[in-house]
Amino acid sequence: MQRYVGIDIGGTNIKFGIFLNDGRLEKKWSISTDFSDEGKKMWDDIYNEIKKNVSIDDLCGIGMGLPGPVLADGFVEVCVNLDLHNFNPVQIMQAYFPGVRIRAANDANVAALGEQWKGSGEGYTSLGLVTLGTGVGGAVIVDGDIVYGASGLSGEIGHIQLNSEETRTCTCGGKGCVDQIASATGIVRYTKEVLARSQQDSALRDKEQITCKDILDAGKEGDIIADQCVRHCMKYLAKALAAVTYIIDPEVLIVGGGVSNAGDYLIKIIKEYYDSFITLSQKKTPILRASLGNDSGIYGAAKLVI
């Protein structure tokens, strides 16, 4: 029976999924990422995992999501998190699996494809996705297809510079990027700053180490400082989503990544600001939470070859 492997390569873990061609997920598992020896170890690990789990006669395709810009031919200039440079994952895997259909794409693009195929985006032909995690990632789909862009910059919604109050420089070299304020890192940093300059009571003051989840939980439970900080940070995300609408006007906007686990509380705040920024139309785009969670990457990677 035909099998397709979807692989989500991250800086910490590599996730695997084995799919049937109707999109049923037969098995999933993950291993930790070992990118030593200029990646050699990692490719060997991926090869071994596939070989152990799928009969080579059944294997019809391998799709991969990678944390960096992937050009149309598969070439990757850099994956910062993997410390890998100038390589072509498609060619590398092809050497291990001659004759098998292999494709690779950026991890955010792949996640969007997964959500569109089997997640919150099912039934929509255009969508904008943002992922809120350590950073802010994103991807857009127009007319059913991922927009890959001319230089791998499409969907880099996190680096739109919207916050003119920002004083620090973003890792990208910019200033005021959405990434700096709406990522988990950004939410924690901003909240700590507010706590430091305010006298107001907050449950967060009892924590030794404040995590983004602490802030979101406290906000949900009515902690005023936490709630205000979440609102402030999500205002910028909503502005970025409004920019997506004023550029491609997708049928739906989807919010994923670890921060989105805060659920309705977070989505409602984003939606409220978003609606206020869409002044040109009474019809407001729905904003949904990504529904595949950590599996969106393996789904989308498999979809690349199904």
Site residues for a copy of itself per CB under 8 A: 69, 126, 128, 140, 142-143, 145, 147-157, 159-162, 164-165, 170, 172-174, 239, 242-251, 277-281, 283, 285
Q: Would you tell me how many other CB atoms lie within 10 Å of the CB of residue 289?
A: 18
CB of 252 to a copy of itself, least distance (A): 8
Q: Which is nearer to a copy of itself, 164 or 167 (CB)?
A: 164
Rounded to a whole number of angstroms, the minimum distance from the CB of residue 219 to a copy of itself is 24
Q: How far is the CB of 237 from a copy of itself (least distance, A)?
A: 14
Q: How many CB atoms lie within 10 A of CB 182?
A: 30
Q: Which one, 23 or 174, has the nearer CB to a copy of itself? A: 174
Closest among 59, 55, 58, 82 to 70, alpha carbons compared:
82
Residue 172 or 194 with smaller CB distance to a copy of itself: 172
Of 45 and 275, which has the nearer Cβ to a copy of itself? 275
Based on CB atoms, which residue is closest to a copy of itself, 177 or 225? 177
DSSP 16-82: EEEE-TTS-EEEEEEEE---TGGGHHHHHHHHHHHHHHS-TTTEEEEEEEESS-B-TTS-EEEEGGG
Which helix (H) or strand (E) covers residue 133, if one does?
A: none
Encoded amino acid at 136, one letter: V
Kindly provide the b/e burial profile for residues 221-246, where b requires at least 16 CB atoms within 10 angstroms of the residue's own CB.
eebebbbbbbebbbbbbbbbbbbbbe
Smallest distance, a copy of itself to C-beta of residue 119, A: 19
Residue with Cβ nearer a copy of itself (75 or 96):
75
Minimal distance, residue 131 CB to a copy of itself, in Å: 15
For residue 61, count CB atoms less than 10 angstroms from its CB and return exposed for 0-12, middle for 13-18, buried for 19 or more. buried
Q: CB neighbours of 38 closer than 8 A, spacing ≥ 6?
A: 84
Residue 139 CB, shortest distance to a copy of itself, in Å, is: 10
Q: At its nearest, how many Å lie between a copy of itself and the CB of residue 36?
A: 27
Which residue lies nearer to a copy of itself by CB, 17 or 138?
Answer: 138
249 contacts 209 by C-beta, under 8 angstroms: no
| Residue 46 backbone zone (phi > 0: left; psi -120 to 50: alpha; other: beta) | alpha
Nearer to a copy of itself, 96 or 273 (CB): 273
The distance of closest approach from Cβ of residue 296 to a copy of itself in the complex, given in angstroms and rounded to an integer, is 20
What is the number of helices (H) and of strands (E) in the chain? 9, 12
